[in-house]
Copies of this chain bind each other. A is one copy, B any other.
Amino acid sequence: MRNFTFYNPTRIHFGEGQIKALAKEIPAGSRVLVTHGGGSIFNNGVWEQVEQALQGYHLSRFGGIEPNPQFATLVRAVEQLKAEQCDFILAVGGGSVIDGSKFIAMAACHDGDPLQLLTGTRATRALPLGCVLTLAATGSESNPGGVVSHAALKAKLPFSNPLLFPRFAVLDPRTTFSLPPRQIGNGVVDAFVHTIEQYLTYPADAPLQDRYAEGLLLTLIEEGPKALANPEDYAVRANLMWCATQALNGLIGCGVPQDWATHLIGHELTALHGLDHAQTLAILLPAVLAERREAKRAKLLQYADRVWQIGAGDEDARIDAAIARTVEFFESMGVPTRLAAYQLGQEVIDPVVAQLSAHRMVALGEHRDIDPQTSARILTRAL
């Protein structure tokens, strides 16, 4: 096991009715910027619960944070926050709203061009942030990172700073009942690939981390299809919500090598072609595993055995079968796994690779040896 530091101070309030915990978490007298997405919170009862919990607080609502939150949108939110003199941010939504709100929290305390915070300047202060999660997927509700999209730069710009851990996160599985199937599928794929990025590398004498990761994968495989079939099954939604949080709160990555090539190549596909984040992961992960078969051989065999119960037969056949089962699982969640399914072909490869180079993503993966040529081969496998 490698040396590591683990720290995660976010307080999780999990379960139905927990939105009422907001009143004890946000200091009395706070002026709260409430951020959200497209407006579903007005139809599913979430906004009503938030408003009720926060009676007596000054609330300023900023809606319209889009999937892959846009820099320009967030800058407008910062302006509203300053005009309203807000001193606390409450993100109500999924990963995009929370990621965007983390950026708002930094930018509100930053003198100068907020773009600096995405291009090398480290924030030294941030407003306190809490969240009410309504989509189980990214884990942003209890980690210190985020990704902001910049349309003009055609880039997804990641950031991470311990100042940005949400102070608290309310996880009420009922808030996810009304999600459309596409978001359910995307969420499961996202949590699955977050787990794989920290698990499917090479053996590192970390059997507990492996078993935690396998526990996440097995649970996602078991519960994901049930959520599509019975969207209002509380137990299923609760398990998916807890899995998604656990998949990217830092725990399973403690002391082990990590990959993240699938994510980083996927970011370019989203930035150039507008695919959903999880769609890019479903396309790229099988291609990454196939391309990196030798470097990942030992863990691919372990994955085949422990996650898919493929423990006998020729090694390469086992690996092929495990990758095939992964593809089937993503497809069963309604997330296609080929570029062609999104009307994208050979023509996307060169521009994606050029953007990877432009963003200095030229040494990816757990061995830092996925160069632009390898990325091109991965994309070719995903056609």
Quick check: A242 and B208 within 8 Å, CB to CB?
yes
At the interface with chain B, which of A82-90, A215-223, A371-379? A215-223
A352 at the interface (CB under 8 A from B): no
* C-alpha spacing A242/B18, complex, angstroms: 31
| Interface mask (A6-44 → B, CB under 8 Å = 1, otherwise 0) | 111111111111100100000000000000000000000
Chain B neighbourhood of A11, CB < 8 A:
5-7
Q: Smallest distance from the beta carbon of A159 to chain B beta carbons, Å? A: 21
Q: Which of B13, B21, B207 contacts A239 (CB 8 A)?
A: B207
Quick check: B242 and A222 within 8 Å, CB to CB?
no
A254 at the interface (CB under 8 A from B): yes
Chain B neighbourhood of A251, CB < 8 A:
251
Quick check: B238 and A205 within 8 Å, CB to CB?
yes
Known: A207-B223, A216-B208. A6 touches B2 (CB 8 A): no
Q: Smallest distance from the beta carbon of A250 to chain B beta carbons, Å? A: 10
Q: Smallest distance from the beta carbon of A22 to chain B beta carbons, Å? A: 13
Chain B neighbourhood of A341, CB < 8 A:
none
A383 at the interface (CB under 8 A from B): no
Q: Smallest distance from the beta carbon of A142 to chain B beta carbons, Å? A: 9
A321 at the interface (CB under 8 A from B): no
* C-alpha spacing A251/B245, complex, angstroms: 12
* C-alpha spacing A2/B171, complex, angstroms: 12
Quick check: B242 and A1 within 8 Å, CB to CB?
yes
Please give the count of copies of this chain that the complex contains.
2
Chain B neighbourhood of A206, CB < 8 A:
239
Quick check: A14 and B5 within 8 Å, CB to CB?
yes
Cβ-closest chain B residue relative to A169: B6
List residues of A (210-268) whose CB comes within 8 Å of B's CBs.
210-212, 214-216, 218-219, 222-223, 235, 238-239, 242-243, 246, 251, 254-255
Residue picked from A16, A18, A219, most chain B C-beta under 10 Å: A219
Quick check: A242 and B219 within 8 Å, CB to CB?
no
Quick check: B13 and A5 within 8 Å, CB to CB?
yes
Known: A3-B16, A6-B14, A14-B254. A211 touches B215 (CB 8 A): yes
Q: Smallest distance from the beta carbon of A255 to chain B beta carbons, Å? A: 7
Quick check: B1 and A235 within 8 Å, CB to CB?
yes
Chain B neighbourhood of A3, CB < 8 A:
14-18
Chain B neighbourhood of A210, CB < 8 A:
215
Chain B neighbourhood of A242, CB < 8 A:
1, 208, 254-255
Residue picked from A8, A10, A218, most chain B C-beta under 10 Å: A8
Q: Smallest distance from the beta carbon of A295 to chain B beta carbons, Å? A: 21
Cβ-closest chain B residue relative to A216: B208
Q: Smallest distance from the beta carbon of A14 to chain B beta carbons, Å? A: 5
Nearest 9 CB-CB pairings of A with B: A3-B15, A211-B215, A205-B235, A9-B9, A7-B11, A6-B12, A1-B238, A208-B219, A207-B219
A-B contact pairs, 5 of them (CB 8 A): A208-B239, A208-B242, A208-B246, A210-B215, A212-B212
Given contacts A8-B8, A210-B215, 15 further A-B contacts (CB under 8 A): A1-B238, A3-B14, A4-B14, A5-B13, A6-B11, A7-B9, A7-B12, A205-B238, A205-B239, A207-B218, A207-B219, A208-B243, A211-B214, A238-B255, A242-B255
